[in-house]
């Protein structure tokens, strides 16, 4: 968990325009080796554009891109990958019908033999897949099983293990926990910590502060294409993080509105549930009485 001072990857004053649309304006952020930088923001905040700029899909219209202190100008994701900047996309990471080991080495297959007898080193590939996943603490029953039979969390984990194996220095994770259940998200969060402990700089994109806060070393909050804040873990509480994300106040107002509606005799059970959920989301803890209403009727 040692951070050797300078940032591993840094962008300074990056802007990106699509015609008249300003997708990113003057965005700066960095990640150090062995640290997790969380990139938070609501839909439309510019997260996707920033990720694609970092991973080499887009080129910024303005600003600087530094990797290991050197200015970079990536023309494709392949360029970034060769430098050691690996991006794990939420849904494009794996090929469902292909076995785990075939997925693991897809595009970088180990070979043996020469000339026309040059062939895929299947034994090495299966053994390495099993080893690498084992190192990340992923227990797979059979490297031959299709990736489609894995759960979403396991799939993300395999993708992370693959990026680590192929020498990623920076790992960009695009919403790896977004479509996962609580337990599965926990599994992925653990691998993020594992990757960080192996000295990798992790950029963890999320719109869920509850997932980001436990693993992040510092937090960049994007709002409407600009950096709204950049905080270290110490400067921030989970509640503060939640508030800071887009629409924190609006969510609270909505919670109040829903509560009033439920208390006002509309008797909508689901409305009260929604209000309670929103309250949990915004992290508010007060000791108010539950809103009065008719007792919930068991329905069959």
68: burial class by Cβ within 10 Å (0-12, 13-18, 19+)? middle
Contact segment (CB under 8 A) with other proteins among 44-52, 100-108, 230-238, 279-287 equals 100-108
Q: What share of the chain is helix, strand, coil (3-state, %, to 5)?
A: 40, 25, 35
| Residue selected from 1, 13, 59, 78 as contacting other proteins according to rule CB under 8 A | 78
Contacts with other proteins, 121-140, as mask; x by CB under 8 A: -x--------x--x----x-
- The secondary structure element, H or E, covering residue 206 is strand 201-206
| CA distance linking residue 208 with residue 46, whole number of Å | 15
Q: Residue 64 or residue 123: which is nearer to other proteins going by CB? A: 123
In angstroms, rounded to a whole number, what is the distance separating the alpha carbons of residues 291 and 209?
A: 27
For residue 82, what is the DSSP state? Answer: H
Give least dist CB 143 to other proteins, A: 10
C-beta closer to other proteins: residue 92 or 277: 92
Q: Which is nearer to other proteins, 107 or 296 (CB)?
A: 107
**CA separation for the pair 191, 164 (Å, rounded):** 11
Is 108 among the residues that bind other proteins (CB under 8 A)? yes
* Lookup result for tokens 């680590």: 164
Burial (CB < 10 A; 0-12, 13-18, 19+), residue 17, is middle
Residue 120 CB neighbour total at 10 angstroms: 14
> What is the closest distance, in whole angstroms, from the C-beta atom of residue 78 to other proteins in the complex?
6
Minimum CB distance to other proteins smaller for 106 or for 280: 106
Shorter beta-carbon distance to other proteins: residue 63 or 146: 146
Stretch that binds other proteins, among 14-22, 116-124, 176-184, 231-239 (CB under 8 A): 116-124
Q: Looking at residues 140 to 179 of the shown chain, list those that interact with other proteins (rule: CB under 8 A).
A: 141-142, 145-146, 148-149
Question: Taking the CB of residue 77, how many other CB atoms lie within 10 A of it?
Answer: 16
Write the binding mask 233 to 272 for other proteins: x where contact by CB under 8 A, - elsewhere: ----------------------------------------
Between helices 152-165 and 122-135, what is the axis angle to 10°? 110
Choose, by CB under 8 A, the member of 50, 81, 164, 275 that binds other proteins: 81
Residues that bind other proteins (CB under 8 A): 77-78, 81, 87, 89, 92-98, 102, 105-109, 111, 118-120, 122, 131, 134, 139, 141-142, 145-146, 148-149
């Amino acid at each position: 968990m040692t951070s050797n001072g300078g940032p591993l990857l840094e962008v300074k004053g990056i802007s990106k325009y699509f015609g008249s649309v300003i997708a990113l304006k003057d965005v700066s952020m960095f990640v150090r080796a062995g640290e997790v930088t969380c990139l938070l923001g609501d839909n439309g905040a510019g997260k996707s554009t920033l990720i694609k700029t970092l991973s080499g899909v887009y080129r910024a219209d303005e600003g600087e891109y530094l990797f290991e202190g050197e200015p970079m100008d990536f023309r494709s994701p392949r360029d970034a990958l060769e430098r050691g900047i690996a991006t794990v996309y939420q849904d494009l990471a794996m090929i469902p019908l292909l076995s785990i080991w075939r997925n693991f080495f897809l595009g970088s297959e180990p070979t043996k033999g020469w000339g026309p007898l040059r062939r895929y080193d299947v034994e090495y590939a299966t053994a390495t897949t099993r080893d690498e996943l084992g190192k990340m603490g992923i227990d797979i029953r059979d490297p031959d099983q299709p990736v489609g039979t894995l759960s979403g969390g396991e799939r993300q984990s395999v993708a992370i293990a693959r990026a680590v194996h192929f020498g990623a220095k920076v790992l960009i994770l695009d919403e790896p926990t977004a479509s996962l259940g609580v337990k599965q998200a926990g599994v992925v969060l653990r691998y993020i910590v594992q990757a960080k402990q192996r000295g990798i700089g992790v950029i963890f994109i999320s719109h869920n502060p509850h997932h980001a806060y436990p693993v992040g070393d510092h937090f960049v909050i994007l709002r409407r294409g600009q950096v709204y804040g950049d905080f270290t873990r110490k400067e921030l509480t989970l509640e503060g993080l939640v508030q800071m994300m887009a629409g924190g106040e609006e969510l609270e107002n909505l919670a109040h509105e829903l509560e009033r509606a439920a208390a006002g005799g509309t008797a909508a059970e689901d409305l009260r549930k929604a209000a309670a959920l929103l309250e949990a989301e915004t992290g508010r803890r007060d000791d108010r009485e539950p809103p009065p209403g008719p007792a919930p009727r068991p329905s069959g």
